[in-house]
Amino acid sequence: MMDTASKPFLRTDAASFGRTEGGGPNVSSFTLDNGLDVVVIPDHRVPVVTHMIWYRNGSADDPIGQSGIAHFLEHLMFKGTEKHPAGEFSKVVSALGGQENAFTSFDYTAYFQRVAREHLRTMMEFEADRMTKLLLEEAVVGPERDVVLEERRMRVETDPSSQLSEAMAAALFVHHPYGIPIIGWMHEIETLSRENALDYYRRFYTPENAILVVAGDVTPDEVLRLAKDTYGRIEPRGERPVRFRPRDPDPVAARHITVSDPKVEQPTLQRLYLVPSCRTAKERDCYALELLAEVIGGGPTSYLYRKLVLERGIAVNAGAWYMSSSMDETRFCVYAVPSEGVTLQALEEAVDEVLKTVPEALDSDSIERAKTRLVAETIYSTDSQSALARIYGSALAIGETIEDVHRWPGEIEAVVKDDLASAAERYLVLRRSVTGYLQKSAS
């Protein structure tokens, strides 16, 4: 499974994190002697726990020429250890009435199970075992590589809009590995070997590099005791592995990308801007960008939708999103779907005209509305222990703190109109952008 970028018809919310005004989760955290970080999020409504282990490495840490290795290893992690042969962990999870999966993103890889509370220890035993004792038989590597190749065919090779997304990211990040797809390039996945996977595994799968998140019907004491008994037995490596991330140069060139394919019956327009993330932003730019995305592109009351769809009728849909949760500089996306008979060029011109008016058009009503929605999402997220586990796990995995997560709603509330105007003026500029056209080709 992968976390991937969105398509123009789906609005993906940059995850909204936080504690609630109504008294949110009472989160505890501690670190084991071997360096493993632990986060506990109690939720006693049902006798169920979500057990997640996060590693601070993702596709952006793939060695050059081995794109897709983080994701391939995620698949191979289900292939057994000395103690537990391939498939045994899954069988046990299933027989206990649990559910499991894993996902790879640019900055992290995570594994999770959802089980009745009394099975937490068993999950920890298995997960701790495969942190360092993976045993990859050559015979399981080949078929699993085929599975990943089929996954890529399913997600990308049969879908021109995914091909556009890949091409746009590759153009946006001229140097940084965020320009390489999480799943990897087809020709490099084909060459990934058992040795590549094991080298990568030995480098990153260590207690210092992992974060244990347990959400659900548990107490911090109980989790600490179980974690010490299981994960605590893993030998420390001394220090956390270093993630080397190059920085993109300050962009100077507006770029245009077109994917033309005979299968495309509905053209779409996308624009990506290279912008700071919540980790790289100086001052409070990332909160401004977060709110800006909501004000100009969050649903049918947003500025872009009102201007392009409701007023001018030049688009049937329009919006924006911001991928704030990243270690390094990240993407801010504006998208629009043209009305019948409107060319992508005409739509692009209209989008640029509307974007130019953003700084003076910002009104306090729409800013308040956007704040209300973003802060409400943090309350809604407290209804789901899995959502909470993901919020805290992903934040810690990119180097944020629990305090950062809890501060988020307050920071959003504190953004003022001038912050938004200045973020728009500074970052939504063409030299920082890639514009993508998805269109039908003649044959």
Partner 1 sequence: MTASVEIRAASPTSVKTLVSPGGIEAWHVESDVVPLIAVAFTFEGGSAHDPEDRPGVAQMLARLLDEGAGQYNSDAFQERLAGRAIELSFNAGNDAIGGSLKTLVKHADEAFELMRLALAEPRFDQDAIERVRAQTIAGLRYQQNDPGVMATRRFFEEGFAGHPYGRPTSGTPESVAMITRDDLVAMHRTMITRGRIKIAVVGAISADRLSGLLDKVFGSLPEAQPLPFIEPTSLKQIGSRFVVDLDVPQSVIRFGTQGIAWREPDFIPAYVLNHILGGGAFTSRLFQEVREKRGLAYSVGTSLVSYRSAAMTWGYTATKNERVAECLDVISQEISRLTTDGPSDEELQKAKDYLIGSYALGFDTSTKIAHTMVQIAFEGLGIDYIGRRNALVGAVTQADISKAAERLFGDGRMLTVIAGRPTGL
> Which residues between 332 and 391 bind partner 1 (CB under 8 A)?
337, 339-340, 368-369, 372-373, 375-377, 379-380, 382-386
Give the separation between CA 240 and CA 325, rounded to whole angstroms.
21
Tokens describing residue 262? 């005979």
User: Applying CB under 8 A, does 167 fall inside the site for partner 1?
Assistant: no
Ramachandran sector of residue 442 (left: φ over 0; alpha: ψ -120 to 50; beta: rest): alpha
- Contact range with partner 1 by CB under 8 A, out of 60-68, 94-102, 344-352, 395-403: 94-102
User: Applying CB under 8 A, does 246 fall inside the site for partner 1?
Assistant: no
**Residues paired with 401 in a beta bridge:** none
User: Applying CB under 8 A, does 26 fall inside the site for partner 1?
Assistant: no
146 or 229: CB nearest partner 1: 146
User: Of 378, 391, 326, whose CA–CA distance to 41 is shortest?
Assistant: 391
Give the separation between CA 68 and CA 174, rounded to whole angstroms.
18
31 or 101: CB nearest partner 1: 101
# residues contacting partner 1 (CB under 8 A)? 73
Tell me if residue 314 falls in helix, strand or coil.
coil
* Of positions 31, 85, 91, 363, contacts partner 1 by CB under 8 A: 91
Rounded least distance, CB 293 to partner 1, Å: 14
User: Applying CB under 8 A, does 268 fall inside the site for partner 1?
Assistant: yes
- Contact range with partner 1 by CB under 8 A, out of 205-213, 226-234, 244-252, 301-309: 301-309
Q: Which residues are catalytic?
A: 74
* Of positions 15, 135, 174, 264, contacts partner 1 by CB under 8 A: 264
**Residues paired with 103 in a beta bridge:** 110
62 or 217: CB nearest partner 1: 217
Give the separation between CA 121 and CA 171, rounded to whole angstroms.
46
User: Of 428, 181, 168, 166, whose CA–CA distance to 322 is shortest?
Assistant: 428
User: Applying CB under 8 A, does 299 fall inside the site for partner 1?
Assistant: yes
207 or 319: CB nearest partner 1: 319
Residue 196 near residue 69, CB atoms below 8 Å: yes
94 or 401: CB nearest partner 1: 94
Rounded least distance, CB 362 to partner 1, Å: 16
Residue 33 near residue 214, CB atoms below 8 Å: no
Report the site for partner 1 in 121-160 (rule: CB under 8 A). Answer: 142-151, 153-154, 157-159
22 or 249: CB nearest partner 1: 22
User: Applying CB under 8 A, does 48 fall inside the site for partner 1?
Assistant: yes
User: Applying CB under 8 A, does 20 fall inside the site for partner 1?
Assistant: yes
H, E, C per residue of 321-372: EECCCCCCCEEEEEEEEECCCCCHHHHHHHHHHHHHCHHHHCCHHHHHHHHH
